[in-house]
Amino acid sequence: MVTIFRAVLSGYLDLGVDEAYYWSWTQFLSLSYLDHPGMTSWLISLSQSLFGHSAFAVRLPSLLLNSATWLMLWSLAEEMHGARAARVTFYLYLLVPIFSLGGLMMVPDIPMGLCWTYLMLLAWRATSSQEISWPLIAVIVGLGILSKYTMVLSAASLLIFFFSIPSLRSQIMTRNFFKGIGILLLFSIPILIWNVQNGWPSLYYHLYERQSSNGVNFSQWGRFWISQMAFLTPMIFIGICIALFNGVQRWNDLKWRWTFCFSAPTLLLFSVQALFSEFKPHWPAPAYLPLLIACGALWDRLLRAQSIFFRNRTKPILIATFTLIFLLPFNLFFYIETIYPLAPKIHRFFSTKKWDPKWDPTNDLYGWKEISELLLERRAYFEERGLNPIIASYRYQLVAPLRFHLKQPIWSLSDITDQYDFVDAPATSSSPNGRYTLFVTDNRFSANPTDALKLESCELDRTLPIYRRTELARTFQIWICKIPNSFVDESDRKPHQNSHGNG
């Protein structure tokens, strides 16, 4: 039922900006990409070849892979802690926002999450069989790395866990282990080839550009932990902290040692990283998968407690109360918000401060059809007057959704490095130098193109407010601008002044 509901919602809602960005990669399939390896774009491309150009086709791989993940998570929890703990784990995975809401989107975390879960399953089963299948492990880690580089941390967790068990430690550094290393290197070849060809931009982007720091930032670190509580819900966050503590306290129990090894390294890395540089709230998400299983086990133990407070007739009430108070409201709010704008109404009820549409991320799902139609109309208008403008913007958050809806190349004239820097110029590969452009901004990225990119003679042509019912969701601006004759360096197809023009 959950998968069917998500499938219906996936077809109804427009793509998010990141989903549209990953979809745009399918227009120039490659061995790898700046932000992530190629798995996401390959899966989207396969789905679209079977089901056509639609938001549902983009999200279909996510629906299937996410369903496989929770089935595997259920199986793993049942093997470790029993059927009731598995059911609790299943419900937590479906209802905890970071997994529930993320399960709607086709992003690299989805295929990586499946690989991460399968690797945890293989690690646990190795404790029973006392045999490690290094080749199979290498295949799973390789597929995960082809989805997202974070998968490397799962391999580190697995090695820490195996090293902590004498009978399995002896199987490290064996012939089969090095066979696995060889297989893993084979899976890494697409990433290595692309990076060698392009001067190792992924390495620079992830290890340097994203890690730039002005020193310790406790305010940012506080926001990191607040975001984790929000994406997990406060009660589950507390449960996860208790589960992590149990992993240390009960180290001699292999179940809890496994929990600690597959969660602590990833959590430690991203929590320290957030102290110094930018972070995304979903980055530590894989570390919460084993902790959800641990929470299921703790909840099961709580229900089994022989106490007057937890008699059989009380247990269903306890479960229902916990679900209704701590999990369902967060999920219902988000799902309703994607369809109906509740957030601004709630804000006005509690605050006199003016509501800013930028505060509601679901507004990103709206307005693309309308702005695309207006762009075609305005381009036809200017073509009749001999200007023949190209369509452009300067953030992937605008370029990618416009590409998806217009089904044609859009120029990215950006001052920030993104994937569009590493592909050919759009359409006829003609230079934009000296041409007119219909340049799109919105209320999030609203800088005047003349100031932001040194374009010539920019004038605001049209403003398009987008409403959801009676609530203002966003405002688009269309500018008519002249691109300088020397804007793009013809020798490498990139703009001067570090403004990237590959579409």
pLDDT category at 423 given cuts 50, 70, 90 is confident
Range of the domain at 378: 364-495
The pair of three-digit structure tokens given for residue 434, joined into one six-digit string: 């000296």
In this structure, the answer to whether residues 218 and 92 fall within a common structural domain is: yes
Tell me whether residue 162 is in a domain: yes
Q: Assess whether 292 and 373 both reside in one domain.
A: no
Spell out the residues 6+ positions from residue 115 whose beta carbon is closer than 8 angstroms to its own: 140, 141, 143, 144, 147, 151, 154
Q: Which residue has the higher pLDDT, 312 or 405?
A: 405
pLDDT of residue 499: 35
Which of 337, 353, 373 lies at the terminal end of a domain, its last residue?
337
Query: Are 381 and 480 part of one and the same domain?
Result: yes
Domain co-membership, 125 together with 14: yes
| Across 161-180, average pLDDT | 93
Across 6-28, average pLDDT: 89
Residues 6+ apart with CB under 8 A from 210: 277, 278
The band of 225, judged by pLDDT with boundaries at 50, 70 and 90, is: very high
The pLDDT, as a whole number, for residue 314 is: 58
Residue 45 domain flag? yes
- Assess whether pLDDT exceeds 50 at residue 83: yes
Based on the fold, state whether residues 319 and 443 are members of the same structural domain. Answer: no
Lowest mean pLDDT among 255-264, 282-291, 342-351: 342-351
Q: Give a yes or no: residue 82 inside a domain.
A: yes
- 453 vs 389: which has the higher pLDDT: 389
Question: 468 pLDDT band (50/70/90 cuts)?
Answer: very high
* pLDDT tens digits along 311-328: 555 555 566 566 656 677
Residues 379 and 299 in one domain: no
Per-residue pLDDT for 205 more than 80?
yes
Segment 480-496 mean pLDDT: 64
Taking the C-alpha atoms of residue 31 and residue 187, their distance in angstroms, rounded to an integer, is 11
In a domain, 125, yes or no: yes
Instruction: With cut-offs at 50, 70 and 90, classify the pLDDT of residue 309.
Output: low
On whether both 99 and 217 belong to a single domain, the answer is yes
Count structural domains, the chain. 2
pLDDT tens sequence across 88-131: 899 889 888 888 877 889 999 999 999 999 999 999 999 999 89
Residue 356 inside a domain? The answer is: no
Q: Please, where are the H alpha helices in 14-54? A: 17-25, 39-51
Q: Which helix (H) or strand (E) holds 105?
A: none
> Taking all residues of the chain, what is their mean pLDDT, rounded to a whole number?
87
| In a domain? residue 342 | no
**Domain identity same for 374 and 304:** no
Instruction: Check pLDDT > 80 for residue 446.
Output: no
Instruction: Let me know if residue 350 belongs to a domain.
Output: no
More confident residue, 487 or 97: 97
Residue 462 has what pLDDT? 94
Query: Which residue is associated with the tokens 């972070």?
Result: 279
